[in-house]
Structure 1
Amino acid sequence: MTTPTTTHFDTAARDWDQRPMSQQLVVVPERLLAQLPLQANDHVLDFGAGTGLLSTAIAPKVAQVTALDMSAAMLQVLDEKGLANITTHHGDIFDGLPGYYHAVVSCMALHHVADTAALLRAFAAALHHGGRIALVDLYQEDGSFHGDNAAKGVQHLGFVPDHLQALAEQAGFVDIAFSDILHVQQSNGRTYPLFLMTGRKP
């Protein structure tokens, strides 16, 4: 299904890695991985993988990465990067997933999903017992981060950690923790903080 969101990302895909925001986000994978224990035989799901900011950093450390996104054009750019153990999956997480995972990671994708509670439940259902989440997104903001929120498929103007933690606990996660991972500067001249939320499925 084509939506305003997928149209926006399909159109932007080819130049996505060169945009100023993507250049700022390149430090995220290293900082995320510092707080996410992974094993060489793990299979990791990258939700909203885009052109592979997280997938390409995680792939050398694990057996397999499944990169899930609703934009075929973004995943094509990732495929062209040629990492043998990254499998791209074009689709909606609510339509089901091709396997089970030891970790679910995401960067700047949560705010594009309307039903956060259902998304966290889907993550929990997709994880092996003991599996972990490591999710990066915006703290609550005033809507100025994206500007044209509707055209970019924005469903949430960031998140309040206490509320997100409650939803994660309801989904079955434990050991939930938040940390500041990066402050990014938008084209409007303002700076916005991003968080990393980690948790574990018992």
Structure 2
Amino acid sequence: MSDSWDNMAAEWDSNEAVIAYSEKAFLSLGEVTKTKGLTVLDFGCGTGLLTEKLSLDAALITAIDPAPKMVGVLAQKGLSNVHAIVGVVDEVFVRERRQSGERFDLIVASSALAFVPDYPETIALLAMLLANNGLLVQWDWEKSESSGAGFMPSEIEEAYTHAGLNLVSTSHPFSMGDMRVLMAVGQRID
């Protein structure tokens, strides 16, 4: 899978639709929380278009993606408060972070979770990485009868509940053409 993303890495940051999506996601995030001083995990960061915007206020960002060339583009941006990692969030990643005491105030996943092999399991792993009262915010396409891509609100609610997250909200903050983006916000409360 990462090979197909790697093939798009060189042109990704000049794709107008990708740029617009990241800008709209960032603006909608601002309606939910402030990012100043937060520790952030950008799950499925790609070339870091959202990471760049978050880096202006966040204290520290860990940006992870399985596509080496995508992460390479992000690393070349030289953002001083961003630690870019080629990899996946799995049990090993979670265990290492928890053992080091690392927890995130905010986890963002912009158009990334529809590509994981096991969505509920990934949400459960991400929930374990959140600090108390930390937020998990995802943006993905809303699944429709004509398109199997993305999620239905009920799928998100079930995964968040199963992971022990309080589903704060689901909304449709923007559309891209005729496709609606579904935004979900979950909170970890210990």
**TM-score scaled by structure 1?**
0.84
Runs of 4+, deviation exceeding 6 Å: none
SS in 2 for 1:61: coil
Who is 2:182 aligned against? 195
Letter in 1 for 2:139: V
Letter in 1 for 2:19: Q
Shift, 1:135, TM fit:
0.6
Instruction: Give the unaligned 5+ runs of structure 1.
Output: 145-155, 186-190
- 1:56-112 CA-partner distances (Å, limit 9, x unpaired): 111111110000100110011111112100110111101414432111001000100
Letter in 2 for 1:192: M
**TM-score scaled by structure 2?**
0.89
Q: Is the 8 A contact 1:55 1:65 kept in 2?
A: yes
Aligned-residue Cα RMSD (Å) equals: 1.6
One of 32, 35, 39 as aligned partner of 1:35: 32
Shift, 1:54, TM fit:
1.6
Letter in 2 for 1:105: V
State, as a whole percentage, how many aligned pairs show the same letter: 24
Shift, 1:116, TM fit:
0.9
Who is 1:55 aligned against? 51
Distance across 2 between alignment mates of 1:175 and 1:157: 22
Who is 2:123 aligned against? 120
Shift, 1:143, TM fit:
6.9
Distance across 1 between alignment mates of 2:117 and 2:63: 20
SS in 2 for 1:135: strand
Answering whether residue 64 of structure 2 is matched by residue 65 of structure 1, we say no
Answering whether residue 107 of structure 2 is matched by residue 110 of structure 1, we say no
Instruction: Give the unaligned 5+ runs of structure 2.
Output: none
Shift, 1:38, TM fit:
3.1
Letter in 2 for 1:29: F
Shift, 1:142, TM fit:
5.5
Shift, 1:162, TM fit:
1.5
SS in 2 for 1:157: coil
Letter in 2 for 1:53: L
Who is 2:166 aligned against? 174
- 1:125-145 CA-partner distances (Å, limit 9, x unpaired): 11111111111001004676x
One of 67, 81, 85 as aligned partner of 1:85: 81
Shift, 1:20, TM fit:
3.4
